[in-house]
Amino acid sequence: MLTSLHVEERTLFKKLDINLIIVILALNVIGLINLWSATHGPTTQDVASLFISQIMWLVVGWTVFLVVTIVDYSIVMRIATIAYVLNLGAILYVTFFGKVALGAQRWIDLGFFRYQPSETMKLALIMVMAKILSTRTTFGRGMGLKELALPLIALLIPFVLVVEQPDLGTAMMLAAIGGSMMIFAKIRKSILATIIALGIIALPIAWQFVLHDYQKNRVLTFLSPTSDPRGTGYNSIQSKIAVGSGRFFGKGFMKGTQSQLEFLPERHTDFIYSVLSEEHGFVGSIAVIGLFCFLFITGIRIASNARDKFGALLAVGVLCYIFWHMFVNIGMVIGLLPIVGVPLPLLSYGGSSMLTTMAGLGLISSVAYRRYLF
Amino acid sequence: MSTYVSNPDEAKEYQSRYKLFYIAIGFALTVFTMRLWYLQIISGNELREFSEKNRIKQNKITAPRGLMLDRDGKVLVENLPGFEAILSPQYIESLDELAKAVGPVLSMEPEKVILKVQKSRRQNGPFAQIRLKENLSREEVFRLKRMRLDTPGLEIRESIVRFYPLHDNGAQLFGYVGEISKRQLPILNEQYKGALKFDQGDIIGKSGLEETLEKDIRGSDGVSFIQVDAHGREAVTQTPNIYGEEIKDMIPVHGNNAILTIDRDIQEVAFKSFMSLNRIGAVVAMRANGEILAWVSTPSFDPNEFSTGISAQTWSKLINDPFKPLRNKVIQDHNAPGSTFKPLVAVPALQEKVITPTTIVSAPGVFYFGRRPYHDHLKGGHGNITVFEALERSSNVFFYKMGIALGVDKMFDYISLLGIGQKTGIELAREVSGTMPNSAWKKATVGEEWQPGENLSTAIGQGFVTVTPLSMAVAYNAIGTEGKVVKPFLLRKIIDQDGKVLRENFPQVVRDLQQTQSNGVHISPDTFKTVKEGLRRVANGDRGTAKHWKVPGVQMAGKTGTAQVMGFSADQIYAKCESRPIHMRHHGWFVAFAPADNPEITIAALAEHSCHGGSGAAPIVRDIIQAYFTKYHPEVIEAALKAKGGKRAQAPVIAPEVEGE
């Protein structure tokens, strides 16, 4: 009895991917430390309560993570389509009845939580794409037009709806995640080349007819940030100053003047990485990127050891989600990309982001958990 | 115990695709590392500086200027605490409302307030503070203090106001202060390179000693650093010094004090004398060693009005006044010296042996040179006279003859050595030299040959000769001291706040004329003694032109003079001067030293448009000499009074005009 219990515990423990959990915990801890600083400046006491709610979201996030881990992800495959359709419905609902924040993001107020359907859409898209792509038997030359039709439609519907919201950042993320998954599943080279060419042609058209003025401004500002340092270029310049002024070792915890004295805009959400770079310098900045790399490598290992194609694609999809968010967010903060409202997973403040990320990581963990047979 | 899932081969299909991921991760890692390296390591110092500039606001604390004290330590120029209304534009919530609220309190038009703020925002940016009004009254301070809470952006700040306790007395000497102008800023920064650094809004000395002593009396401004957040609010951190200990406030350093040669008592007597006679003009009193004791130029102005921001109205009144109150007439006005020039002509006449002290010269009422008559002021003339009588009675014809005998170039050789036609080198800006002509000078400037007739007008101080009162004082002082041409000076010492002497000026003899000069000229003591005796008789002789203005117990020596304002012919010079409009009346001169034999003090007084040197200028000189001896040699005055039975000799205020000057 004692022995069998012992064996069972060891088994459960062994089945979890400890590396994954450790790296997530590490990023959580860094995120909390950093968020403390970002919300406790001398004149910023009003946002101090955000720290408490972030801890609450972390607890909820980890609960979701563990539940998703233990549930067999074959269930995910079964509910993928329903989740996708429901989510589309929610997006349609907010497009017409939702509340608008910052001129773009739309949400439903659930009282304790502002539910952003476009955020969960990312996960729903990953599930549906994984489901569709895993059923395509394509190896060899890759997917042709016939095989691509369904995943493309699955991607385009939410993409167009989100563009219409108009939340360009999230739309781009959806496209990046879906596209990456398709490329991962292999597309015929000629078709890939055609799509890229079409994309390049579509760019100026999109500029002319799809983008809003404030979005165009962001891009123009990115190209020439000093043209209007007090206006649209302000965020970008202040963020670069914050990052650069951290120098090698940083100004120290709670000593980042750019963030503490509110020169950094959106410092607890989109610009959380510049808070970190300012206070912990090159060392801290590279350490966090290193942790993300470790997370990716762990995730890739899990995907490559998955028991089936769906599991592998699911893990890959979530990795794409985290990768693109990280890439665009840090790229924006350090002045390599235009300002787009994209949070940094695990570090930025925000319930939606935290829940989606932890659920997604739960999916990866689940894939790892299910690679063993009993 | 554990084995792989049923068909792992299916999942293995993707094995070759994971390299895409590694490529993407590798790409991101490389790009981010390079970018972070660029921002944090290569540009790190520069961006750190930017972040410091973001949060640290510098507030300038103006250092008080040094005081000016007189030779006894009495205050001539000082600082008073004041209040000024300051606007910090970045905190203003509604400019319109602020202007409507503040304007009436400061008796300013609200539109003017708005314009001032807008102009400053445009020129100096949104963070530069605006000085709305200086030197607030108690009432204004009180009312502003009450409304400050409801008016963000408004501050009342303590300031320093330059104060001149003598008000309009000596205003041109001490000068005034004002805000540095845009045009002056680069000029002064170049001029004082390495010593002083001026910024916009600085208060600087604009004229007089305030201007020339800038380097000595200007303190160094302090700076206080305050930390502000992105909204310009002061951000006090719970833990002090958390953001960097290297930033320390700089305490302003008080400017050094200047001890002047001026004697405030004598300065006040001189000014009072000018005012009581209602005279326009200038007077300078100098000790024999060159120390200036008093310096007055009238009409004057109150420099305190400049310290507190002069109104456009007052300013335009000052610059449009025909009698030029802003001009320092002691060194900036040059006029014909008239008869005060005669003793200077007597020097070469004696030294060149044109005459001896006993030579008798015929001085009739009219003198023909060529076919032109040259008149004396006395129709009947002075008869046969020596140089003593010529000086005492101010004979024109006597000196016409000296002029002919000497010629202008001989006169030039001597008189320019006495300092005429040259700058004295006093520590004030914009001194003019005046003119001592010679034939070469006329050829160079006028382009004509020297006419023999011009020797005559030159010899009586008309024509091309022009002098400043200060240069006349120097020349007479050289006669009185028998040859010592001194450099007049105003600054005795610069002392720091602890009284330590930083710089000291000593009396300086530019040349001793008893020694042979570079042009071969030297002047013997006998020559000086003769001229001095003549000058003594002017003030003491029975027919002396200044005999009415004696100081009991002190013998003074001097000479009266009249300077033509308009070009009247010689015989009209004295005709009905008082009946002319004031700006056409002649200037009266009196230059004197005392005691006559061994002078301690030399005074040159110019009474513009007073018609006569005797009644116009001599009373002022008399008052100064009396004040000087009362203060420095009271025993002399007392002894004289005792001898007269305790009755103080009262000189007539309006004396009968003595003919001839």
Please write the tens of the pLDDT for every residue from B409-439: 999 999 999 999 999 999 999 999 999 999 9
Higher per-residue pLDDT: B55 or B244: B55
DSSP-based three-state secondary structure for B211: helix
Query: pLDDT tens across B526-569, in order?
Result: 999 999 999 999 999 888 888 888 888 899 999 999 887 765 55
Tell me if residue B80 falls in helix, strand or coil. Answer: strand
> Rounded to the nearest 5 degrees, what angle is found at the Cα of B81, between the Cα atoms of B80 and B86?
130
Q: Provide the pLDDT for residue A177.
A: 95
Of A184, A244, A247, Cβ closest to residue B20: A184
Total residue count of chain B as it appears in this document: 661
Integer-rounded Cα radius of gyration of chain A: 21
Is the same domain home to B16 and B83? no
Q: Are residues B18 and B79 in the same domain?
A: no
Q: Are residues B572 and B548 both part of a single domain? A: yes
Strands (E) located in B140-181: 154-163, 177-179
Chain A contact present for B28, CB below 8 A? yes
C-beta separation of A371 from A19 below 8 A: no
The three-state secondary structure class of B38 is helix
Q: Do B233 and A247 touch (CB under 8 A)?
A: no
Residues from chain B contacting residue A373 (CB–CB below 8 Å): 2-6
- For residue B456, give every residue at least 6 positions away whose Cβ sits within 8 Å of its Cβ, in sequence order, or none: B369, B374, B400, B403, B404
Token pair belonging to A149 = 């039709």
Number of H helices and number of E strands within chain A?
Answer: 14, 3
Distance of alpha carbon A77 from alpha carbon A128, whole angstroms = 8
Reference B629, options B554, B555, B536, B556; nearest CA is: B554
Q: Quick one: which of A291, A314, A259, A12 has its CA closest to B2?
A: A12
Are A43 and B22 inside 8 Å of each other by CB?
A: no
Residue A105 has what pLDDT?
Answer: 57
Distance of alpha carbon B221 from alpha carbon B253, whole angstroms: 6
- List for chain B the helix, strand, coil content (%; round to 5): 40, 20, 40
Query: Band of the pLDDT at B572, cuts 50, 70, 90?
Result: low
Which tokens sit at B625? Answer: 């000499």
Task: At B138, list the tokens.
Answer: 């108690």
Say if B648 falls within a structural domain: no
B608 and B468 together in one domain: yes
Burial of B184 (0-12, 13-18, 19+ CB in 10 A): middle
Within a domain: B2:
no
Distances (CA, A) of B244 to A257, B48, B185, B241, B249: 10, 12, 33, 6, 13
Q: What is the pLDDT of residues B267-293, one digit of tens each?
A: 999 999 999 988 899 999 999 999 999
Is A16 near chain B, with CB under 8 Å?
A: no
* A328 exposure class (CB count in 10 Å sphere: 0-12, 13-18, 19+): buried
- Answer yes or no: are the C-beta atoms of B470 and B294 closer than 8 Å: no
Would residue B53 count as lying in a domain?
no
Least Cα distance to B285 among B600, B595, B610 occurs for B600
Hey, are the CB atoms on A309 and B2 less than 8 Å from each other?
Answer: no
Would the pLDDT of B352 be above 90? yes
pLDDT at B263 over 90: yes
B560 has which bridge partners?
B590
C-beta atoms surrounding A11 within 10 Å: 13
Q: Which pLDDT value is given to residue B10?
A: 67
d(CA B624, CA B265): 10
Q: B-chain residues within 8 Å CB-CB of A41?
A: 229, 235
Asked if the structure places residue B21 within a domain, the reply is: yes
Average pLDDT over residues B386-413: 94
Structure-block tokens of residue B570: 């010689």
Q: What share of chain A is helix, strand, coil (3-state, %, to 5)?
A: 70, 5, 25
Q: Look at A248 and B40 and tell me if their CB atoms are within 8 Å.
A: yes
- Measured between beta carbons, which residues in chain A are less than 8 angstroms from residue B47? 240-241, 243-245
CB distance B36–A42 less than 8 Å? no
Of B8, B29, B52, the CB nearest to A307: B8
Chosen from B47, B56, B90, B121 to mutate, greatest number of chain A CBs within 10 A: B47
Say if B304 falls within a structural domain: no
Kindly report each contact of residues B135-142 with a partner whose C-beta sits within 8 Å and lies 24 or more positions away, as own/partner.
B135/B82, B135/B83, B135/B84, B135/B159, B135/B161, B135/B307, B135/B308, B135/B309, B136/B82, B136/B83, B136/B84, B136/B85, B136/B106, B140/B83, B140/B85, B140/B105, B140/B106, B141/B83
pLDDT above 70 coverage of chain B, percent? 91
In terms of pLDDT, which residue wins out, B456 or B92? B456
Distances in whole angstroms, Cα of residue B370 to Cα of each of A120, A238, B306:
121, 92, 57
Handedness of CA A173, A176, A180, A181 (dihedral sign): positive
A340 close to A44: Cβ distance less than 8 angstroms = no
B10 vs A contacts (CB less than 8 Å): 308-309
What are the DSSP calls for A211-260, one per residue? --HHHHHHHHHHHSGGGSTTTTTHHHHHHHHHHHHTTTT-S-TT--HHHH
Q: Does A335 sit within 8 Å of B35, measured CB to CB?
A: yes
Dihedral of alpha carbons B587, B593, B594, B596, sign: negative
- The stretch B170-174 carries a mean pLDDT of 95
Domain check: are B499 and B378 in the same one? yes
Tens of pLDDT, residues B124-160? 766 677 888 877 888 888 888 888 777 777 888 888 8
The beta-carbon neighbor of B18 closest among A246, A285, A304 is A304
- pTM of the prediction? 0.71
Cα–Cα distance, B604 to B295 (Å, whole number): 10
B230 and B340 in a single domain? The answer is no
A76 touches chain B (CB under 8 A): no
A contacts of B230 (beta carbons < 8 Å): 261-263
User: Rounded to 5 degrees, what angle do the CA atoms B401, B403, B409 make?
Assistant: 155
Residue A212 is predicted with a pLDDT of 74
pLDDT at B661: 47
How far apart, in whole angstroms, are the C-alpha atoms of residue A142 and residue B85? 77
- Rounded-to-integer distance, Cα B165 and Cα A204, Å: 76
- Whether B533 and B388 have beta carbons less than 8 Å apart is answered as yes
pLDDT at residue A43, as a whole number: 63
What tokens does B202 get?
């600085």
Q: Tell me, what amino acid is at B139? A: E
Cis upstream peptide for B656 (omega within 30°): no
Residue B21's domain comprises 8-42
DSSP state of B600: S
Phi, psi of A17 (to 5 degrees): -85, 100
- pLDDT above 50: residue B659: no
Residue B146 lies in a domain: yes
DSSP state at residue B100: H
**pLDDT one-digit tens code per residue, B2-37:** 333 445 566 677 888 899 999 999 999 999 999 999
For residue B283, tell me if it sits in a domain: no
Q: Are residues B137 and B19 in the same domain?
A: no
Convert the pLDDT of each residue in B627-657 to its tens digit: 999 999 999 888 888 887 644 444 444 444 4
Q: Same domain, yes or no, for B37 and B64?
A: no
Write down the mean pLDDT value for chain B: 87
Looking at the fold, whether B204 and B332 belong to one and the same domain comes out as: no
Write out B504-550 in H/E/C secondary structure: ECCCCEEEECCCCCCCCCCCCHHHHHHHHHHHHHHHHCCCCCCCCCC
User: Which regions of chain A are under pLDDT 70?
Assistant: 1-13, 43-48, 99-106, 137-140, 221-232, 372-374
How many residues in chain A?
374
Q: For residue A220, give every residue at least 6 positions away whose Cβ sits within 8 Å of its Cβ, in sequence order, or none.
A: A227, A232
Number of independent structural domains in chain B? 3
With respect to residue B405, please indicate whether it lies within any of the assigned structural domains: yes
Asked if the C-beta of B41 comes within 8 angstroms of chain A's C-beta atoms, the answer is yes
- Do residues B143 and B237 share a domain? yes
Q: Are the beta carbons of B127 and B90 closer than 8 angstroms? A: yes
CB-CB contact of B76 with B69 (8 Å):
yes
Beta strands B257-260 and B68-69, pairing class: parallel
Segment B80-84 shows an average pLDDT of 87
Tokens of B292: 């200036």
pLDDT in the model for residue A100 = 63
Phi, psi of B652 (to 5 degrees): -65, 140
Q: Is residue A360 a contact partner of residue A124, using CB atoms and an 8 Å limit?
A: no
Distance between CA A266 and CA A60 in Å, rounded? 24
Residues B353 and B225 in one domain: no
Q: Tokens 């088994």 belong to which residue?
A: A11
Can you tell me the mean pLDDT for B245-249? 65
Question: In this complex, which of B4, B15, B25 lies closest to A307 when CB atoms are compared?
Answer: B4
Q: Chain A within 8 Å of B368 (Cβ-Cβ)? A: no
The answer on B230 and B129 residing in a single domain is yes
**Structure tokens, A55:** 């801890």
d(CA B564, CA B570): 9
pLDDT-based confidence at residue B228 (cuts at 50, 70, 90): confident
How many CB pairs below 8 Å do chains A and B form together? 163
Query: For position A143, what pLDDT does the model report?
Result: 84
Find chain B residues with C-beta within 8 A of A242's C-beta. Answer: 51
Asked if omega into B104 is within 30° of 0 (cis), the reply is no
Rg (CA), chain B: 36
* Cβ–Cβ contact A140 with B under 8 A: no
